[in-house]
Amino acid sequence: MAADPFSDHQAILHTFDPIAKMLKDNPRDDMPNSKPAPVSRDCQ
């Protein structure tokens, strides 16, 4: 019996799950709902 190519495709797509979660939790500056990164002002 041949392997199911759909399951291989799903496995490849699931490799991007951590990246999608990271972008959802911390969107880039040019994405909606982004917030500036906290900056330390200790050196001033």
Provide the percentage of residues in the chain whose pLDDT is more than 70. Answer: 91
Total-model pTM: 0.53
Query: How distant, in Å, are the alpha carbons of 14, 39, 44 from that of 26?
Result: 19, 15, 27
H or E element that contains 10: helix 5-14
Question: Alpha-carbon distance 21 to 34, whole Å?
Answer: 14
Token pair, residue 12, equals: 């490849």
Provide the percentage of residues in the chain whose pLDDT is more than 90. Answer: 23
CB hemisphere CA count around 10 (13 angstroms): 5
Whether the per-residue pLDDT at 44 is higher than 70: the answer is: no
